[in-house]
Structure 1
């Protein structure tokens, strides 16, 4: 199991005079980076498991919705 919050070591830095729009933008960008990192890690773990547990089979195609 992965704890995405425990593994998040990227500091969030905001200027003292930041507007609420700027604060929202910084947090959204941070969340998007964290999400992309977690997704890549999860997909890699699934591919590794599939290769180990289902040797010789092609992994199923991922359908994006």
Structure 2
């Protein structure tokens, strides 16, 4: 994948986040033709970029 500008991405926190101090939370943003996933506690640490098909597959596995 090419470089994707995420500086204006609208990040959404997982609905499974409990908001606790040590909660393991992820955030997701839909940008261009990719889905970006990052650690909500370390937003400057980078993001995993997935194709829309890979995002769908990940969600299907996680929902099991």
The answer to whether TM tops 0.5 is no
TM-score by length of 2: 0.27
Between Structure 1 and Structure 2, the one with more strand by share is: 2
- Give the structure, 1 or 2, with the largest relative contact order (CA under 8 Å, sep 6 or more): 1
- TM norm structure 1: 0.26
